[in-house]
Amino acid sequence: MTTSYARRPVFGKPPDTLVVEEPLEIRVNGQSIAVTMRTPGSELELALGFLYTEGIIRDVSEVASAKLCVDDPNVAEVVLRQHYAIESRNFYTTSSCGVCGKASIDSVKVHSHHDVSADPVTVRAATLSLLPDKLRQAQRGFARTGGSHAAGVFTAAGDLVLVREDVGRHNAFDKAIGTLLQRGEVPLAGHVILVSGRASFELTQKAWVAGAPVLAAVSAPSTLAVDLAAEAGITLVGFLRGESMNVYTRPDRVS
């Protein structure tokens, strides 16, 4: 049985609790399409979220079955109802970056089926300022190890819908999206996604594919993240720390 935490010795000090990092292979219709370094837990949600945010599936109804391999819990096997032609893309990812293994920049850019730019949601700046503390309070893994990232989904009123953690930012994001996909709560119209680290191009892409109009990060965005958010019509907030924040795109949604 896998665990999310492990004790390791520290020279001259008591043993430390560390977040576990292990590979997860994702197979679609018997073909391996991705290997990601992740924290054990919510493997099927991670697989479904990955397939959705990469544009391989558009709805959970396209999935006939999803299960862990009987012989290897580090393998998620997904069977789609229709044949899917796997593109020539290398999906190997580390826990820190989800796009560095793809074959070309053109294959990185997955277009959303949701018109995020038309979402009329508005969020009070005072509400945004409270979200990092709410996210931190829900980060049990980070509290124990200090080594996990989180993705939290909030309503525009600031209510926490769910939070997922992982050693990788993009995995935490996919676990959250995969969970909501199973519940039938995607697209995330009218919602805010908050990530515990920086806002990368890939996380902005995933927010767009999931139909989320607002993406916030406690750290900095990248230039490509800002450019993609502007193209998609996403409100991108960075350096969200208390009452301080930078709104890079679509500031009309922040009141």
User: Choosing from 64, 69, 97, 143, which is the catalytic residue?
Assistant: 97
Residue owning tokens 């945004």: 128
Separation between Cα atoms, residue 4 and residue 125, nearest integer Å: 35
Residue type, 238: G
Residue type, 82: Q
Q: Verify whether residue 97 is a known catalytic residue.
A: yes
Separation between Cα atoms, residue 181 and residue 60, nearest integer Å: 6
DSSP string, the chain: ---SEEEEEETTEEEEEEE--EEEEEEETTEEEEEEEE-SS-HHHHHHHHHHHTTS-SSGGGEEEEEE-SS-TTEEEEEESS-----S----B-SS-SSTTSS-HHHH-PPPSS-GGG----B-HHHHHHHHHHHHHH-HHHHHHS--EEEEEEETTS-EEEEEEESSHHHHHHHHHHHHHHHT--S-TTEEEEESS-B-HHHHHHHHHTT-SEEEESSPBPHHHHHHHHHHT-EEEEEEETTEEEE-S-GGGB-
What residues are annotated to the active site? 97
